[in-house]
Homo-oligomer: A and B are copies of this chain.
Amino acid sequence: MSETTIQLTPVQQKFILHWGEMGTKWGINRTVAQIHALLYIWPESINAEQITKVLSVARSNVSTSIKELQSWGLVKNVHVMGDRRDHFETLEDVWEMFRIVMDERKRREVDPTLILLRDCMEEQKKSGKRDKHTEGRLEALQEFFESAADSYERLRSVPTATLRRIAKMGDKVLKLLKAA
């Protein structure tokens, strides 16, 4: 089987290592983030063995990490003619990529928090001795999360092209909003 051995340039290495560190700071496994970085900068799809070599990690680790990335919807399988191994690639569009991450984090972390807050509020309200202070604090938090989730949901439906355009509008955005 013909096999392209991946050889990283210093710049590529630097980027992949940094992305890995970034990942750890955001609760994402270092290897997972590195694989994502590698797929992001590599021009063609890559197979699992190539990843093991270039990142010096075990084959099984690649398997698990890829699954993780797939569960986020960030990596998809592609097939190369005449090669029965799985090849992988990630999204091209950075905005789209971040949107997916945001979506998933909302689903996995914000939504459960909202449910918890609602639960707490309910439990609080039907409890005998009303703890007004805690109730107030939780309510404030709930309002914040609900407002944020709501605003995000709205933003979500806007095509990335429009988002880019709005981002480029600069100061005009706020002026418009303040005027309204």
Chain A residues packing against B (C-beta within 8 Å)? 9-12, 14-15, 18, 22, 24-27, 40-41, 43, 94-95, 98, 108-109, 113, 116-117, 119-120, 123-124, 127, 131, 133-134, 137-138, 140-141, 143-144, 147-148, 150-151, 154, 158, 162, 164, 166-174, 176-178, 180
Q: Which residue of B lies closest to A125 (CB)?
A: B11
Partner of A176, one of B22, B137, B164, B176: B176
Q: Which residue of B lies closest to A10 (CB)?
A: B123
Residues of B within 8 A of A167 (CB): 147-148, 150-151
A166 to chain B, nearest CB (A): 5
Residues of B within 8 A of A176 (CB): 176-177, 180
A-B contact pairs, 26 of them (CB 8 A): A9-B131, A11-B124, A11-B134, A12-B134, A15-B120, A22-B113, A24-B27, A25-B109, A26-B26, A27-B27, A40-B137, A41-B134, A43-B133, A94-B143, A95-B144, A98-B144, A147-B168, A150-B170, A154-B171, A154-B173, A154-B174, A169-B180, A172-B180, A173-B177, A176-B176, A176-B180
Distance, CA A119 to CA B14, complexed state (A):
10
A89 to chain B, nearest CB (A): 12
Distance, CA A134 to CA B27, complexed state (A):
26
Distance, CA A162 to CA B9, complexed state (A):
47
Residue pair B177, A14 in contact (C-beta under 8 Å): no
